[in-house]
Amino acid sequence: MPDKKEQKQKRYIYIALAVYWVILLIATSLPSPSLPDIKGGDKLHHFSAYFILTTLLAVTFLQANKPLFRKYAFILAVLTAAVYGLVDEIHQSLIPGRSCEFMDWVADLGGAVTGSLVVYFYIYFRRLKTRKG
């Protein structure tokens, strides 16, 4: 059974994921003229948003009580983000000034894969260091 510190850490990651996901949903629901114009382009926004989402999802799945979720955390994180990205693109087609674009979804997917890989390699190298040290 997890100790209180572990339970508290789990709670924080669940809260962080929920808050971030709500912010992401709100941001993608705003009409286009309401959004600030940030240099770097639309695809960078998509990539970054889904990088963060998938990082949080991977960590959440890694802390899940179900062994199957932990075993496939990285794949589940990418699949969850990919499906959500597709649904979000369709949702954006209903928002004034927004559109549903395949390349936006590709950027979402790129951010998701990268986020999952970053968490995977962080954990891999941390375990490797622990074994050696």
Per-residue model confidence as pLDDT tens digits over 93-102: 999 888 899 9
Does 67 score more than 70 pLDDT?
yes
pLDDT above 90 (res 104): yes
Q: How far is CA 2 from the centre of its chain?
A: 25
**112 contacts 78 by C-beta, under 8 angstroms:** yes
Residue 73 inside a domain? The answer is yes
Q: Can you say whether residue 38 is alpha, beta or left, with left for phi > 0 and alpha for psi between -120 and 50 degrees? A: beta
For residue 14, the tally of other CB atoms under 10 A from its CB is 14
pLDDT at 39: 53
Domain count for the chain, please give it: 1
The alpha carbon of residue 110 and the mean position of all alpha carbons in its chain are separated, in whole angstroms, by: 11
129 band by pLDDT with thresholds 50, 70 and 90: confident
pLDDT value at 20 more than 60 = yes
Q: Which domain holds residue 92?
A: 4-30+40-132
- Tokens encoding 112: 């998701």
| Confidence (pLDDT) at 2 | 62
**Is residue 99 situated within a structural domain?**
yes
Average pLDDT over residues 56-81: 96
Specify if 67 maps to a domain.
yes
**Containing H/E element for 123?**
helix 102-132
35 within domain boundaries: no
Q: How confident is the model at residue 33 (pLDDT cuts 50, 70, 90)?
A: low
Residue 12 lies in a domain: yes
pLDDT at 40 over 60: no
